[in-house]
Chains A and B, each alone.
Chain A
Amino acid sequence: MRVFFTLTRRELAGFLVSIAGYVIIAMAVFLMGLSFSVLVGKLEVPTPMPIVELFYMTPFFWLILILSVPVITMRLFALEKYSGTYETLMTTPVGDWQVVLAKFTASLIFYMLMWIPLIGCMYVLSRYSNDAAAFNWVSIGTTYLGIFLVGALFMSVGLLASSLTRNQIVAAMVSLAFTVSVFLLSFAGEKFGMETDWMNEALRYVAMVDHMQDFARGIVDTRQVAFYLTLSSFFLFLTYRVVQSRRWK
């Protein structure tokens, strides 16, 4: 356990000590700011929707989710393999699971740090809007839960992509392809899912946009929570097997 914490701390320091981490945060804050101004524009027309839900409906919100994950995860394994530190790391008595989980945890913590400025946006809105009912902390909490769960899934995919290569660009492209296509699946149902019911049903389970909508409304559906947790665990397991596989060859 101590080894796990030591590794997590180092991974997190890797983000926060280098300029790369701050560039990612700056990019995210910039997109949040754009979303915020779009949102303020929308609010000029009276709307029955809660503000968080409106916020996540802005395209920039999804842009942050989809773009930040590959950038955060691409370095995790690929950089270590490229620079050779992977060899120094894996020749110490650390367990493969410890390495995988530490990298996953550190990137997830960094990702959640990146989302903190969003609370500021929400606060400004609640402070200056007249309608107190449009804003409540529970829906913010569930939105963050949603962001966390989607992030966990995307991070685990990014981690897997990074473990497969020593080239950061390749790792980023693979996870970007995944995040974009999973995101687009949300709209697949509307596009051609009408023919059969089971297809529609299946697509509804993976429709992230719908899931986020629920979270933003303050609805926590255990089916969705289970969906994200099992899928993340599955990808973490695959990453573990990839790390282990150097001992099979």
Chain B
Amino acid sequence: MSGNGYMIEVSNLTKRYAGHVAISNLSFTVERGEIVGLLGPNGAGKSTTMRILSCFMPATSGTARVAGLDVFHDADEVRRRIGFMPENNPLYTEMRVREYVKFRARIKGLYGAKMRDRVDTVLQQCGLTDVTKKMIGVLSKGYRQRVGLADALVHEPELIILDEPTIGLDPDQIRSVRQLIKDLGKKHTVLISSHILPEVEMTCSRVLIMRGGHILAADSPANLEKALSHENQIVVELAAPIEDLTICWEQMAEVEHFDIAPIDSDYFRCSLTPVNGADIRPQIFNMVKERGWTLRELSRSRYSLEDIYVRVTRPQSEEELY
């Protein structure tokens, strides 16, 4: 076991299928206790990365280590340390909830009192206590997802890998699953994948944005936002003569670029790009006051993670953040 404390170490990982490359030269690390989100559009290579980490299939080249163990050579040991919930959360629908979790606990090497104890704990933890005798096939999607989570947790793995854990859930269920994931982060290392942004933004301490088998950006959601905040915009909505407005923005030194769009009869919506991302809202306010125009909105829009995601994963532009 390597003592550097990384839970996941991936270096130069490549997976080629016949005819196309799913991931190429992927490298990243995840420290113990982190909740990391893999974010990217469909086909970005998220599931492939997770399948390799969970020893379901080998990589074409490169290495991946979990808790210091190679996923190919020490596959059995790695599998013992991982709780994996694949995409779409496949379950044996003809089994009952408790029966299924017990079965999974057994094949993961738990028996007797310890097994029963763990099964009861995870059923409680995942809020499944009132459906333990129900068949999985009749459960709602939210409950099934929790069964999948209970299965991933039952053997107390060091690393939990969840592929699209909230896909297809209604907003209430999404919230409860997210809360569960956040709670897991207190004891385990968690790697989740998603193509939904707010999910990752809310639950993860770090985000890896993927596209076309590459990692395009890797940082905390806050840092990613900061990195792009110099490109913010100022939105002004006001009633003024259009000619005056144009001259006024042209003369203002801090404004690099502007757009004016009429909205109502009198009002115009102006989007201003300030030089170096300066906050010029006070100047604008003073100017409007001096001229006696009517101002009804003055705001500064910052790039959200969503904008970053859209920018980064846009297929045409090859610009990279780092």
**Contacts from A to B (Cβ < 8 Å):** 2-3, 6-7, 10, 13-14, 17-18, 83-85, 87-94, 246-249
B90 contacts A87, C-beta separation under 8 Å: yes
Q: How many Å lie between the Cα of A248 and that of B87 in the bound state?
A: 23
B58 contacts A87, C-beta separation under 8 Å: no
- The answer to whether A92 and B107 touch (CB under 8 A), given A10-B92, A247-B57, A249-B58, is yes
Is B54 in the interface zone, CB < 8 Å from A? yes
A85 contacts B92, C-beta separation under 8 Å: yes
Q: How many Å lie between the Cα of A92 and that of B108 in the bound state?
A: 6
B107 contacts A6, C-beta separation under 8 Å: yes
Is B311 in the interface zone, CB < 8 Å from A? no
* Nearest residue, chain A, Cβ from B76: A93
Chain A residues touching B, majority SS: helix
B109 contacts A3, C-beta separation under 8 Å: yes
Is B300 in the interface zone, CB < 8 Å from A? no
B92 contacts A87, C-beta separation under 8 Å: no
A91 contacts B94, C-beta separation under 8 Å: no
14 further A-B pairs in the complex, CB-CB below 8 A; given A3-B107, A93-B80: A3-B106, A3-B109, A10-B103, A14-B92, A17-B94, A17-B95, A84-B86, A85-B92, A88-B86, A91-B56, A93-B79, A93-B108, A93-B109, A247-B58
Chain B residues touching A, majority SS: loop
14 A-B contacts, Cβ less than 8 Å apart? Answer: A3-B109, A6-B106, A10-B103, A17-B94, A84-B88, A87-B56, A88-B90, A91-B54, A91-B82, A91-B84, A93-B80, A246-B57, A247-B75, A249-B58
Number of CB contacts from chain A to chain B under 8 A: 66
Give the number of chain B interface residues (Cβ < 8 Å). 30
* Nearest residue, chain B, Cβ from A95: B76
* Nearest residue, chain B, Cβ from A102: B107
Is B32 in the interface zone, CB < 8 Å from A? no
Residues of chain A within 8 A of B56, CB atoms compared: 87, 90-91, 246
- The answer to whether A88 and B58 touch (CB under 8 A), given A14-B94, A93-B109, A94-B107, is no
Is B104 in the interface zone, CB < 8 Å from A? yes
Q: How many Å lie between the Cα of A93 and that of B75 in the bound state?
A: 8
Is B302 in the interface zone, CB < 8 Å from A? no
Q: How many Å lie between the Cα of A87 and that of B55 in the bound state?
A: 10
Residues of chain B within 8 A of A10, CB atoms compared: 92, 95, 103
Q: How many Å lie between the Cα of A247 and that of B60 in the bound state?
A: 10
Minimum Cβ distance to chain B for residue A92 (Å): 5
Identify B84's interface contact among A6, A17, A88, CB under 8 A. Answer: A88
A84 contacts B90, C-beta separation under 8 Å: yes
Q: How many Å lie between the Cα of A91 and that of B85 in the bound state?
A: 9
* Nearest residue, chain A, Cβ from B135: A17
A6 contacts B103, C-beta separation under 8 Å: yes
B106 contacts A2, C-beta separation under 8 Å: yes
Residues of chain A within 8 A of B54, CB atoms compared: 91
* Nearest residue, chain B, Cβ from A7: B107
* Nearest residue, chain B, Cβ from A14: B94
Q: How many Å lie between the Cα of A156 and that of B92 in the bound state?
A: 23
Q: Mark B87-123, 1 if CB is under 8 A from A, else 0.
A: 1101110110000000110111101000000000000
Is B141 in the interface zone, CB < 8 Å from A? no
